Amino acid sequence: MRKKAQQEAEQPVIRNTRYNEGTDSLVFALGGLGEVGKNMYCIQHQDEIIVIDAGVRFPEENLLGVDYVIPDYTYLIRNASKIKALIITHGHEDHIGGIPFFLRVVRIEKIYAPRFACALINRKLEERKMTKRTTLVEINADSKIQTQHFTVGFFNVIHSIPDSLGLYIKTPNGSIVETGDFKFDLTPVGINADYQKMAFIGSTGVTLLLSDSTNSEVEDFSISEKEVATQILDITKNVKGRLIIAAFASNLHRIVQILQAAIACGRKVIVFGRSMENIVDIGQQLGHIKIDKRHFLAPEDLDHIAADRVCILCTGSQGEPLAALSRIANGSHRHIKIYPGDTVVFSSSPIPGNATSINKTVNSLTRAGANVMTNSVFSSLHTTGHASREEQKLMLQLIKPKYFMPMHGEYKMLKMHKNTAIETGMKAENIFVLSNGDALVLRNEEVFNADVKIITDDIYVDGNDSSGLSTAVIKDRKILADNGMVSVIVTIDSRYNKILCRPSIVSRGFVFIKESQSLLKEAELVVYDALRKTMANKTTFSELKNCIKNALEPYLFEKTKRNPIIIPVILNMKAASVPNYRAAKMKGELSPSGR
């Protein structure tokens, strides 16, 4: 009994409260909780909403043909007149990738973003001819955004991309700090974090902290970017042949280190991969990359320079099939072939789920004769841009929040971040592990679980379609991938309500036809019997199609335990179609072809 009572005492008390739209402030996420990516956080008070970030998530392997996953914007569409600002913390795709899709459904007058993110967003909007849909406003750590109910300030944080900001938001019911993506690096490349400003904000009393949880499972401090730079410089000095380095295109600090190491070792640089070329171009325009153009090569120059004087910087560190490195590995790149003596360096760590693709690329490169180097305990070729557990503790100690909501991470990451906060002295009942659509109420500097649930879901983007209509198409693709397709072809004469011959069944991806002839013949008889009963009375093409599906689906599942997509095809005698075409078309029973 004593043990049970102790366990009950350790359980946090969930305090639900009714949301008062007139006086309370509301905090919720449309993306970023229970997942890595698709970040979108909202703060609302009366008739004002501030939106923080508008990202995408890249699809898992089972989402066939999906290009991006974005949040469901329904709530913001319905409350579009209340949106006073879209504020961007930094320029990674999981924070800015959804902006073009968001702008299609909601009019945003101004997007506030730091300098490097502004350049990336502007290029993204130019490609889609959407620059006139909004105004980009550049912000930095000294900027201030004022609305009727909100005051927003900023502070510098360290991340793997320049100009990354955290937010300090004053609401009528208390103050909120949103860290964005961050880490602490005591020997940083670029601008240092605003430790003093963070500590000052913490000393004023912060009601609620929203903090990055991505690396909650990683202990200790992450290694410094300068340590990675030293390792890359050593490799560049010692490699005798061509050097090919694959990295995340968005990690500009790493790209700068690679370029500087190549120049220091007398190598010319050539850049491959559209996203890498864009980042290098923008980095040069904004002054982050201060390397003269004479140090860069054009593709046609590769055949006229010694191998030990070349450094190739490319995309494909995650084994993406269409990225430059994958095409180099499989021999389909039009400018580069792997030769024995080439050295390929993966300056990255595998994103969960990408290990198989990376191993495939590594094996192809090795088979072609390249020496492949990947990040490991023996070589510091990559460091993360997200805070590890000790760095998360430091942020908690600097901000000293009264309440805490872990964000930006899968559920396990959020849960572990909660445990980390408890280690620093926070009460368990003051920490909220939420899902997308859950909401918190701020009232007089107190925080409660709200009794409201915001509409939220994953919307699949297939090509340029972000309407959500592709979701049904994706489901069909999954059924096709798992169970295949069965097409039933039936020939009838609608004049006499008669089947002219036994149905014919064609299968793709369902069963091996040569070994399943008896199954398909029996299936044809099942359909034939069902159609004869249906056509004993007057019927329509739509009813015939439903008859075919209703008869065949249970039969095939009983025999195979699988549910393929069933496509009925009804062929009507031409002599029957022509006289009755106009009447049938008016009733909606015939397609224009008369079938």
Per residue in 187-246, pLDDT tens? 888 889 999 999 999 999 999 999 999 999 988 888 888 888 888 999 999 998 899 999
Indicate if 408 and 493 belong to the same structural domain.
Answer: no
pLDDT tier, 6 (very low <50, low <70, confident <90, very high otherwise): very low
Q: What is the CATH number of the domain that holds 267?
A: 3.40.50.10710
pLDDT of residue 116: 95
- Mean pLDDT across the chain, nearest whole number? 87
Domain that holds residue 439: 20-220+385-461
The residue type of 57 is R
pLDDT digits (tens, 9 = 90+) for 112-127: 999 999 999 999 999 9
What tokens were used for 569?
A: 């095809």
| 206 and 229 belong to one structural domain | no
- Please tell me whether residues 98 and 187 are part of one structural domain: yes
* pLDDT score recorded for residue 467: 58
Active site residue 149: no
Q: Find how far residue 90's CA is from the centre of its chain.
A: 15
- The string of pLDDT tens digits covering residues 142-168 is 999 999 999 999 999 999 999 999 999
Active-site residue (options: 94, 194, 212, 438): 212
Who wins on pLDDT, 264 or 353? 264
The total domain count for the chain is: 3
The pLDDT value recorded for residue 576 is 58
Query: Do the beta carbons of residue 566 and residue 476 sit within 8 Å?
Result: no
The model carries a pTM of 0.78
Specify if 478 maps to a domain: no
Question: Is-contact 543 535, C-beta < 8 A?
Answer: no
Q: Bigger pLDDT: 594 or 329?
A: 329
Q: Which range among 92-101, 316-325, 375-384 shows the weakest confidence by mean pLDDT?
A: 375-384
User: pLDDT value at position 319?
Assistant: 81
Residue 594 has pLDDT above 70, yes or no: no
Please, is 444 exposed, middle or buried when counting C-beta atoms within 10 Å of its C-beta (0-12, 13-18, 19+)?
exposed
Whether the predicted pLDDT of 353 surpasses 70: no
User: Residue 74: which of 452, 456, 439, 437 has the closest Cα?
Assistant: 456
Q: Are 280 and 155 members of one domain? A: no
Q: Is 438 a catalytic residue?
A: no
Residues 332 and 421 in one domain: no
Among 386, 408, 417, 462, the active-site one is: 386
**What is the model's pLDDT at position 8?**
39
Q: Which residue has the higher pLDDT, 514 or 585?
A: 514
CATH of the domain at 582: 3.10.20.580
Q: How confident is the model at residue 560 (pLDDT cuts 50, 70, 90)?
A: confident
pLDDT of residue 4: 44
Torsion (CA) 65, 70, 71, 77 in degrees, nearest 10: -110
